[in-house]
Amino acid sequence: MVIEMLMLRLPVELDKRLDEIAKKTQRTKSFLAREAILLSLETLEKKYTIENKELRDMNINLYETLVKSFSTPIDLETESRKSKFRIFSEDGKLFVHNNKDNIRPLSVDEVDNFYKVFKETGSRSPSTYTDVTFNSSYILAAISHLKGQDIL
């Protein structure tokens, strides 16, 4: 087994907690850090992979699904900042009416590019998608809504 070295900078409080556990358990900080990372990875895998499995396994055209599903406007809220917005489609195009009273079109390309990244990562964090769209918070909220409605 090949072992890689990883250097970490820890906040003082976290380092103190790690020291305390190491003393109590007679384990090294390296061992405990590996254990913590392993436990966290299992949690993250469940959160980002298993949680989105039913969506990841579907070969859908997300843009078309969103256009059809939001032909009647729906009021939603972003998961990260809890910003209220309305999503709707008109003439086969998708729009977001945000809380600053701006109406933004969502293009086919940006939704398709978002969906490619989403299928790879399953990430619920808008920052994951900044390279492909600035509207990821809205798209994530729309996906959550459709999953809740058993549409996705």
pLDDT digit of tens for each residue in the chain (152 aa)? 788 888 888 899 999 999 999 999 999 999 998 888 888 887 777 666 555 544 544 567 899 999 999 999 999 999 888 999 999 999 999 999 999 999 999 999 999 999 989 888 888 889 999 999 999 999 999 999 988 887 77
**How far is it, in rounded angstroms, from Cα 146 to Cα 151?**
5
Residue 56: what pLDDT?
46
Residue 2: what pLDDT?
81
Residue 49: what pLDDT?
58
DSSP code of residue 133: -
Residue 149: what pLDDT?
82
Cβ pair 105, 94 in contact under 8 A: yes
In angstroms and rounded to an integer, the radius of gyration of the C-alpha atoms of the chain is 20
Q: Domain ranges in the chain?
A: 12-50, 55-148
| Angle at alpha carbon of residue 15, lines to 80 and 27, rounded to 5° | 120
Cβ pair 86, 75 in contact under 8 A: yes
**How far is it, in rounded angstroms, from Cα 3 to Cα 5?**
7
